[in-house]
Amino acid sequence: MTGDADSLNPFLGYEAVSYEAWALEYDFLVGYKMTDMSPEPALAESWETSDDGLTWTFHLRDGLKWNDGVPLTAADVAYTYNRVLTERIAGGTWRSYLKTTSSVTAPDDQTVVLQLDSPSATLPLLPIPIIPEHIWKDVSKDAMKQYADEPSDGKPVVGSGPFMLVEGTAGGSSYKFVENPYWWGDGPHVDQVVIQVYKSQDPMAQALIKGEIDFAEGLTPLQVKALQDQPGVTAHNGISPIFEEIGFNTGSVDTETGKPLGDPNPAVLDPKFRHALGYAVDTEQIVRTAYQGAAEPGTTIVPPFYTTWHWEPPDDEKFTFDLDQAAAELDAAGYVKGDDGKRTLPDGKPIGKLRLFARSSEKPSVDTMDLLKSWLGQLGIDSEVTAMDSSSLGDRIIEGTYDIFQWDWYVEPDPDGILGDFTCDQLGNLNDSWYCDDDYDAMYAAQGAETDRDARAEIVKKMQQQLYEDAPYIVTAYTKVGEAFRSDAFACFQPQPDPGGVWLIQYGGHNYPLLRAAAEAGDCDGTPSAAGAVEVGDDGTPTAASVSAAAGDGNTMGGFLAGVLSTLVVVAGFWALNRRRTVDDRE
């Protein structure tokens, strides 16, 4: 696994580093608010929608320019969206944000108009990188799949974001960005950002201690603990939108014929059985032992990270670790104990051994399944744990030859994506628990067309409730991301969400312009809670310590310029691997 950029072309790449590069290089029309990921003005200053919700009009800021000095107009925005709408490759990553859009026009230089076929719930959020027409008009539809979009002949990539990419190639080991003098926003306050790719975490943590780098991401809980004791370093486990789950085979079918596929145990097909097991999973112990404390106990598939959308089960419905309750529900559903003390199926046949699958690359995955095996054992259900590489597990899920697996998801700010993964449409594709329910699908369609945020949140919460009760997944934990930075060199990291969120690798990339050298940080220019971020680490290091550490430790031969920020990204980091995991159809 690598943490490098697979492609710097915003229509091709999918790795975390690629997304980070685009967030620095390009702008969105409407981006994410730092604090709660709701839509926030970016290139567009304001917008309005018609009464029927079918026409959206966006007004651009004054005086926008590309980093080569060419004016950025509404025509560039329309050009970008039209390529997304009409071309398969360009549409691959981004079309879901323009799902019901039929046309995009630019009546004048500062106005963009979207015409919709039906109202869309995800608008006005449009986190699609806007590309310059005067550069990309030379990239044909066919050339798109090979277009690298990398700096050449020393010239930076043309974009409009706060920084511009001056060095770096797909699969390279470092990416260098310098300040864009034409950027419309306030800042940036650092001259350059260098993203350095580390292939293993320990040397990265050592490089941070030594001051070769100024920020590290994807650290293990143990490393975070060790770094908290280092002078001049602030470290924490930041809240991130990742959930871990125990997933069931709720009924694998051949998507073409509709006939059952694979060999799931009859027990796991039964929602009552799965619901009972909800009481047999001690999420607190999983957090403590499998994740070494760097997680929160889990409940639903939309993390509490997203306050607008998350549904928290009320006390009388919430799974608490209670084996008696689990046993009572199993008894009631007909899974009673036989003479040998093992539970049987309602028809009296033995359940046999449930097959539990974990990912061998992730120790917490294996630990979770081992714990589940022991809890099942206490209920009188036999099981066996098998660990395998994720490709093999993916194949197995597609074939339906499993009962229970462990995996995780990275959830986007808009819940549409994760909710859609449980629809019948995604059977044999992203729907890895083979969940398919008409009521659920109807609600999915309804939330996608509901433009009132509150009304939509109601539906989204109902959907989570249904999934909680039917339990295709038992969400075990919301994991955190280990981060650390040289607090004697830099300050003004704003957490996302605030408080407790990750410091740098966030949705939107707006935090980079806020960063300042520690010596000039002051109050971070009044950036809300930015100074607070520095205090999140519990080592109490004063923020304005000596900056000399950053200005070249004397150890690196070249030495860094003062004010250079190096961001480290680990291969093994969560982002790289788990931005989105997928399961798809058979070949």
Partner 1 sequence: MSAVVASQPAAPVARRRSYGRYVLAKVLGALGSLAFVVVVNFFLFRVLPGDPARVLGRDRLKSPADQAAFRSEYGLDQSLPHQFLTYLQNTFTGHLGDSIRYRVPVSELILDRLWPTLLLVGTSTLLAMLIGVWIGIVGAWNRGRTFDRASTGVTLTLYSMPEWWLGLLLIAVLAVGLGPLDGIFPTGQLHSNDVDPTSLEGVLDTAWHLVLPVLTLTLAYLAEYSLVMRSSLLDEIGEDYLTTARAKGLRDVVVRRRHAVRNALLPTTTVSALSFGFVVSGAITIETVFSIPGLGLLSSEALTGPDYWVLQGTFLVAAGGVILANLVVNLVYGLLDPRVRT
Interacting residue ranges for partner 1, rule: CB under 8 A: 1-2, 6-7, 9, 12, 14, 88, 92-93, 96, 145-146, 148, 167, 170-174, 176, 194, 196-200, 202-204, 206-207, 209-210, 212, 389-392, 394-395, 398, 417, 426, 429-430, 555-558, 560-561, 566, 579-585, 587
DSSP secondary structure letter of residue 426: G
**In 10 A of CB 325, how many CB atoms?**
15
> Which residue, chain included where needed, has tokens 């029309």?
29
Measured from the CB atom, is 63 or 554 closer to partner 1?
Answer: 554
> Shortest Cβ distance from residue 220 to partner 1 (Å)?
14
> Shortest Cβ distance from residue 517 to partner 1 (Å)?
17
Element of type H or E holding 416: helix 416-420
Measured from the CB atom, is 4 or 450 closer to partner 1?
Answer: 4
CA 320 to chain centre: 27
> Shortest Cβ distance from residue 219 to partner 1 (Å)?
15
Measured from the CB atom, is 59 or 580 closer to partner 1?
Answer: 580
- Asked whether the CA dihedral 7, 13, 14, 20 is positive or negative, the reply is positive
What HEC string does 215-248 produce?
Answer: EEEEECHHHHHHHHCCCCEEEEEEEEEEEEEEEE
Q: Which residues pair with 478 in a beta bridge?
A: 243, 296
- Asked whether the CA dihedral 296, 299, 301, 302 is positive or negative, the reply is negative
> Shortest Cβ distance from residue 154 to partner 1 (Å)?
11
Between CA 532 and CA 42 the distance in angstroms is 25
DSSP string, 55-111: EEEEEEPTT-B-TTSPBP-HHHHHHHHHHHHH-HHHHHHHGGGGTTEEEEEEEETTE
> Which residue, chain included where needed, has tokens 């995009």?
104
Of 294, 298, 285, 295, the C-alpha closest to 220 is: 294
> Shortest Cβ distance from residue 127 to partner 1 (Å)?
14
DSSP secondary structure letter of residue 386: E
Measured from the CB atom, is 6 or 469 closer to partner 1?
Answer: 6
Between CA 291 and CA 477 the distance in angstroms is 9
> Shortest Cβ distance from residue 561 to partner 1 (Å)?
8
Measured from the CB atom, is 59 or 145 closer to partner 1?
Answer: 145
Measured from the CB atom, is 374 or 391 closer to partner 1?
Answer: 391
| Tokens at 329, concatenated | 């529900």
Measured from the CB atom, is 29 or 583 closer to partner 1?
Answer: 583
For residue 188, whether the previous peptide bond is cis, meaning omega lies within 30 degrees of 0, is: yes
> Shortest Cβ distance from residue 397 to partner 1 (Å)?
10
Between CA 411 and CA 408 the distance in angstroms is 10
> Shortest Cβ distance from residue 150 to partner 1 (Å)?
10
> Shortest Cβ distance from residue 256 to partner 1 (Å)?
10
Measured from the CB atom, is 172 or 221 closer to partner 1?
Answer: 172
Measured from the CB atom, is 86 or 307 closer to partner 1?
Answer: 86
